Structure 1
Amino acid sequence: MMKYFFLFIILFSSFITAQQNKTDSLDELKYSELKDKIYDHFQHNRISEAAQIAKYYLQRAKKEKNTLEIAEGYNLVHFDADFPTALLYIDSMASITNNIKGGLYPARTYLIKGGLYYTHNNLKAALDNYILGLKYAKEQNDKKQIAYANINIAYINNYIGKNIEAAKVFRYYLYHRDNIIDDQQSSQMRLALISCYLEMNKLDSANILINEGQKLALINKNKYEPYLYSYLSGSYDLKVKNYDTAITKLNNAYNYFSKSGENSSANYSLYNLGKSYEGTKNKEKALEAYIKLDSSVQKHDLVFPELREAYTFLVDYYKEKGNKEKQLYYIDRFLKVDKKLDEQVLYLSTELPKKYDTPNLLQEKENIIEDLKTRKNILYISVSLLIITLLLVIYLYFKSKKKEREQRKIAQDLISWVEKRTLEESNIKNEAKDTEIAHIPTPEQSEQDDKASKIISEEVIQFILQELRIFESRELFLKKGITLASLAKNIKTNTAYLSEIINTHKGKNFATYLNDLRIDFALNRLVKDKKFRSYKVAVIAEELGYNNEQAFSLAFKKKTGTTLSMYIKEINNIDDKKRIK
């Protein structure tokens, strides 16, 4: 992911002292012209010149006692200051505008402060300030600042993995500018949206925007953006497993970012480089990238959620090599980064399960420390592990027994349901082979149906629904290799229409729809057909159109909540009881 690239307010971390030159010519420029000049220098990486003009801007505003321009001067000089100094500048901006009623302030101050905190990896403080900025912007009905607040909050959503929510905001402002954002900000929206699409695995959409952005970057002659797109394009290649191409592009991006002091961008490039090398099975190169990444993280104190995977690799690598010192070192690094992430990103509920959770790492850390100090405790550790293993086996045994009882009850309920439905269907010949449970639309589903009917004509909807009824009644879903595309071709429609109709009228996507038909068919036939029950799982799976028995078994368990073997066992038990009676 590439969250740090996309701050909506331009922020720079490195400062280069500039020599005083051509100050006299600045006296002839208006404040608006000075500001344009500063932003132009920033955009073309002429940081020292921009900082020099920003200082002049503030001095001139103070000399003229122009309150609003003094406030703007503090904003401009904070861009290139270190964090404590930048924070003082923004506090000075807040102080001097404290008595100004209405207008841009105080919303603008909170938004700028939020951007500063975000850049320095304090997400909680950033979000607090963005929310305050949004509150005051709404009070003033300032559409631009409302947009800026929404966009910056979307960056935080992007950072913590809520990409769907973030993408909605970025997409809206990219395609509904309404004089709120300019060309440069629109470009940032495109970059942010690409990042979201990559994380959401909407790879076709991401690739379209990458190609579009690369062309615009060449036209705009922006020195920085081509390397951002090199990073994004490399990340896309990583997603589609074009590892060698990804490595070339990511190396290009990393070399630029590391030399130009874009530390966050460099870190993300290193992370994806490591993942690319992992893809090529080149562990040594992946190790090199992750070690560089750890060094940069320590130096610049910039963390992001994916770092956990890098440290997991490092811990595992040295564990395999038997290097306990290095393993212990990277466990410590993992725990420190993990603690910081947990402290600042409190709502990371959607984060992927950790390979190493904190308690286990702490325990492993203690075991390694003891092992390095002395080998005399091997017997004690072995006995302890044996006890833990025994307790774990006991726990798993009772857990499995409980699970078995639950699955047996589910299987019994399913058999009762099949028998009851069979009895009901015997009175309705036209529905004898209808294996789908009726779908009662919720108010939200009805609304989706209405939307679908606006997009697709009623005649097409009814035609496709009729074809689906034929598909179900003739049990064509049992054929192997059925896909959305092949079914659409057979019923002479397109995949978009077919997918939409299945989603809105069946209440599920195509894969779930097909799977439900097959599993419901299996539930019925296994109850009714003793010979079918005697088949091997691989044969049953083949009969139902699955590629292999594992796919069928997993699908059966996911759909029913019980296992195929338990379901068949309960059917046989019921049959045995009936024969005894």
Structure 2
Amino acid sequence: MNRLNSACYVFLFLSLFSFNGYAQAVQKDTLDNKSFDELKKIFYYHKDLGEIKVGKEIALYTLSKARSLGNKKAIVNSFIRLCRVSYDDLDLALKYTDSCILYATEYEFEKLLAEGHFYRGIVLYELGKYGNALEAYLKANEYYKKQKNEMYYSLRYNIGLLKLKVRYHAEAIEIFKENLKFEKGKDVNSKSYLDLLYGLSIAYASNKMLDSAYEINKIGYQKSLKLNDQSHLYFTYAQGALHYARKEYKAAKDSMLKAVPYLMREKDYPNLAIIYYYLGTIAKNEEIKIEYFKKVDSIFGVKKYIIPKPRKAYEGLIDYYKKKGDLKKQLYYTERLMIIDTVINKEHRNVTHTFQHEYDTPRLVEDKRLLIQELNKKNTDFKYGIYILLIFLVLVISLLIAIYRKKRINEKRFREVLKSLESTPKIKQVGQSNREKRKSVVDENTLNHILEGLDEFEKNKAFLTPKLTLSSFAKELNTNTKYLSIVINDYKSQTFRNYINNLRIEYIIGKLYNDQVLRNYTISAIASEAGFSSTESFTRAFTKKTGLNVSYYMKKIK
């Protein structure tokens, strides 16, 4: 219990802190004497009426009461209820399921743990994380497959929806048909029954069984009219999709346009994306076609949601702007398509893999293991493949470690450069502090003359003169190259070329740090500003002096 308190304390505090204003809807003192069963009935009464805010406040009240009384089962149930009234904030709903699973695991409530995974799967599905949603459903299935109750068929329905997502249409049909047999013993005008009819209609259509889809869709439309909640417009949309499949484009357009306002109110972005794609493909005017395709992109831009069918809208956008010669937009939609394919491949690959190996054919998983085992005995190529893969992984990991170390080294060197800028003058007059460094073969008068010349040289930034040579510098100081070279070696501990390059690099480092305008120059222009005659010699000198490349330094100081 202590572990749970420490893990969930902050989240629980924030959740319970939001319990305010409840007295505006239901008098708090009317709940104080209610049992947990009665609180459950009150919660579902308001939830079923669509009074989500009231339902959330009742659930928070129940959680508070359960915690104060130490009622473990009521605590877990409260988190499930909070999830069910938080679908407007999916991230929050996911946190509630996490808390439910955490507590149910600790208290060993098998049924409530299964419920937690079930509702977690629903939230993950709405977030477009199909692989994770399926994993949650499969965990719940381990419990519900023994019961075959209403929750079992709800779970089967959700798995059927995932089947549709990854184009296992025939298997989705079987799930929906099985669930319909169960639902027929109940209210055939219920929302869950209509959802099954709608799912079966879509599954038939996806499996090219258009006549069957039409008959089921007709039944669903007629029954949904009795609910008087406009849900019949889902069947109107499905009818439009059937017209589209039959190439009856005018009828398809009419049906789908009727459904658009309702789907927008329901925030059903996946079906809106499909409708916009269909409307785009059948539009005769190319500009209208592109506007519909852009609406598909706008849905992905806001919701990061896409499925395989409407992704083709991006191919249309790319072709359109290719014909227009608009390279910028062509590149933009090409990059968007690459992102989308990554999302689709990741999620659909995860779901497909899980269906094949964990849910539908567990026996085949074992068969596959035995087959690989047998092949390993007969085929050494498999072993070589494993070895190569391991070597590859080692190389990749080594590369990542090297990159990480390089990054750390660069950051350390950058900090050292900044520290040197803050702790030293902008012009480092090295000669003044080293005049007594050691005896020289150069006579004292000449030595002092050269050292004074070097001081003036540094103060006046004469080192910025392009194409400066030892010979030209010696002439300027009225000495010879031999003496000048000896003094620089003895008192600057550098060759003439390194001495000049280091002065230039120290100068340009400080200049870049303080001059924002200079940072926008090209590297070639910066090299020229520092007195270098070529970009290559500048970048070599910069790296040698600082251990960093120029572009990295400029990026960091920006």
**TM-score, with normalisation over the residues of structure 2?**
0.53
Q: Is 1:23–2:36 an aligned residue pair?
A: no
> Please, which of 201, 206, 221 is the counterpart of residue 228 of structure 2?
221
How far residue 57 of structure 1 moved from its aligned partner, in angstroms, is 4.6
Alignment of 1:385-404 (within 5 A): none
**Corresponding residue for residue 78 of structure 1:** 83
Structure with larger Rg: 2
**Corresponding residue for residue 285 of structure 2:** 282
How far residue 99 of structure 1 moved from its aligned partner, in angstroms, is 4.4
Within 1, Cα distance between the matches of 2:41 and 2:109?
A: 25
1:511-539 deviations in Å (ceiling 9; x for gaps): xxxxxxxxxxxxxxxxxxxxxxxxxxxxx
- Residues 181 and 76 (structure 1), Cα distance of their counterparts in 2 relative to 1, 3 Å cut: farther
**Corresponding residue for residue 346 of structure 1:** 349
How far residue 269 of structure 1 moved from its aligned partner, in angstroms, is 2.7
Alignment of 1:258-269 (within 5 A): 258-269=264-275
Within 2, Cα distance between the matches of 1:218 and 1:326?
A: 45
**Residue 176 of structure 1 aligns to a residue in which SS?**
helix
**Corresponding residue for residue 521 of structure 1:** none
**Corresponding residue for residue 67 of structure 1:** 72
Kindly indicate whether the alpha-carbon contact (under 8 Å) linking 1:41 and 1:50 is maintained by their aligned counterparts in 2.
Answer: no
How far residue 273 of structure 1 moved from its aligned partner, in angstroms, is 2.4
Within 1, Cα distance between the matches of 2:196 and 2:304?
A: 26
**Corresponding residue for residue 321 of structure 1:** 324
**Corresponding residue for residue 34 of structure 1:** 42
Within 1, Cα distance between the matches of 2:141 and 2:307?
A: 25
How far residue 86 of structure 1 moved from its aligned partner, in angstroms, is 1.8
How far residue 161 of structure 1 moved from its aligned partner, in angstroms, is 0.8
**Corresponding residue for residue 310 of structure 2:** 307
Within 1, Cα distance between the matches of 2:351 and 2:195?
A: 25
Alignment of 1:461-472 (within 5 A): none
Q: Is 1:242–2:248 an aligned residue pair?
A: yes
1:28-48 deviations in Å (ceiling 9; x for gaps): 792343243244234xxx544
How far residue 50 of structure 1 moved from its aligned partner, in angstroms, is 4.5
Kindly indicate whether the alpha-carbon contact (under 8 Å) linking 2:314 and 2:334 is maintained by their aligned counterparts in 1.
Answer: yes
Within 2, Cα distance between the matches of 1:349 and 1:214?
A: 32
Within 1, Cα distance between the matches of 2:61 and 2:351?
A: 43
Which amino acid counterpart does residue 238 of structure 2 have in structure 1?
Answer: L
Q: Is 1:335–2:342 an aligned residue pair?
A: no
**Corresponding residue for residue 132 of structure 1:** 139
**Residue 105 of structure 1 aligns to a residue in which SS?**
helix
Which amino acid counterpart does residue 115 of structure 1 have in structure 2?
Answer: I
Q: Is 1:231–2:237 an aligned residue pair?
A: yes
Gapped regions of structure 1 (runs ≥ 5): 1-16, 351-581
- Residues 166 and 93 (structure 1), Cα distance of their counterparts in 2 relative to 1, 3 Å cut: same
How far residue 311 of structure 1 moved from its aligned partner, in angstroms, is 0.9
Q: Is 1:199–2:206 an aligned residue pair?
A: yes
1:529-578 deviations in Å (ceiling 9; x for gaps): xxxxxxxxxxxxxxxxxxxxxxxxxxxxxxxxxxxxxxxxxxxxxxxxxx
> Please, which of 170, 174, 177 is the counterpart of residue 164 of structure 1?
170
Within 1, Cα distance between the matches of 2:247 and 2:215?
A: 18
Within 1, Cα distance between the matches of 2:48 and 2:119?
A: 19
Kindly indicate whether the alpha-carbon contact (under 8 Å) linking 2:280 and 2:289 is maintained by their aligned counterparts in 1.
Answer: yes
Kindly indicate whether the alpha-carbon contact (under 8 Å) linking 2:100 and 2:113 is maintained by their aligned counterparts in 1.
Answer: no
- Residues 85 and 204 (structure 1), Cα distance of their counterparts in 2 relative to 1, 3 Å cut: same
Which amino acid counterpart does residue 328 of structure 2 have in structure 1?
Answer: E
For the aligned residue pairs, the C-alpha RMSD in angstroms reads: 3.1
Within 1, Cα distance between the matches of 2:334 and 2:282?
A: 23
Within 2, Cα distance between the matches of 1:199 and 1:76?
A: 35
**Residue 128 of structure 2 aligns to a residue in which SS?**
coil
Kindly indicate whether the alpha-carbon contact (under 8 Å) linking 1:131 and 1:149 is maintained by their aligned counterparts in 2.
Answer: no
Report which structure shows greater RCO (CA 8 Å, sep ≥6).
1
- Residues 22 and 85 (structure 1), Cα distance of their counterparts in 2 relative to 1, 3 Å cut: closer
Which amino acid counterpart does residue 326 of structure 1 have in structure 2?
Answer: K
How far residue 52 of structure 1 moved from its aligned partner, in angstroms, is 4.3
Kindly indicate whether the alpha-carbon contact (under 8 Å) linking 1:38 and 1:53 is maintained by their aligned counterparts in 2.
Answer: no
Which amino acid counterpart does residue 257 of structure 1 have in structure 2?
Answer: L
Alignment of 1:389-428 (within 5 A): none
How far residue 64 of structure 1 moved from its aligned partner, in angstroms, is 5.2
> Please, which of 113, 128, 140 is the counterpart of residue 106 of structure 1?
113
The structure where helix makes up a greater share of residues is 2
1:466-513 deviations in Å (ceiling 9; x for gaps): xxxxxxxxxxxxxxxxxxxxxxxxxxxxxxxxxxxxxxxxxxxxxxxx
**Corresponding residue for residue 181 of structure 2:** 175
Within 1, Cα distance between the matches of 2:187 and 2:43?
A: 17
How far residue 122 of structure 1 moved from its aligned partner, in angstroms, is 0.8
Within 1, Cα distance between the matches of 2:77 and 2:60?
A: 11
Within 1, Cα distance between the matches of 2:53 and 2:286?
A: 41
Within 1, Cα distance between the matches of 2:45 and 2:20?
A: 16
Which amino acid counterpart does residue 231 of structure 1 have in structure 2?
Answer: Y
- Residues 349 and 69 (structure 1), Cα distance of their counterparts in 2 relative to 1, 3 Å cut: closer
Within 2, Cα distance between the matches of 1:261 and 1:49?
A: 22
Kindly indicate whether the alpha-carbon contact (under 8 Å) linking 1:107 and 1:136 is maintained by their aligned counterparts in 2.
Answer: yes
Identity fraction in percent: 22
How far residue 226 of structure 1 moved from its aligned partner, in angstroms, is 2.2
**Corresponding residue for residue 193 of structure 2:** 186
Aligned residues: 327
- Residues 41 and 293 (structure 1), Cα distance of their counterparts in 2 relative to 1, 3 Å cut: farther
**Corresponding residue for residue 97 of structure 2:** 90
- Residues 276 and 197 (structure 1), Cα distance of their counterparts in 2 relative to 1, 3 Å cut: farther
**Residue 241 of structure 1 aligns to a residue in which SS?**
coil
1:100-142 deviations in Å (ceiling 9; x for gaps): 556523222111111111110111111111111112334x545
Kindly indicate whether the alpha-carbon contact (under 8 Å) linking 1:107 and 1:145 is maintained by their aligned counterparts in 2.
Answer: no
1:47-90 deviations in Å (ceiling 9; x for gaps): 44544444445445445544333323212222425333222211
**Corresponding residue for residue 293 of structure 1:** 296
Within 1, Cα distance between the matches of 2:213 and 2:74?
A: 41
**Corresponding residue for residue 157 of structure 2:** 151
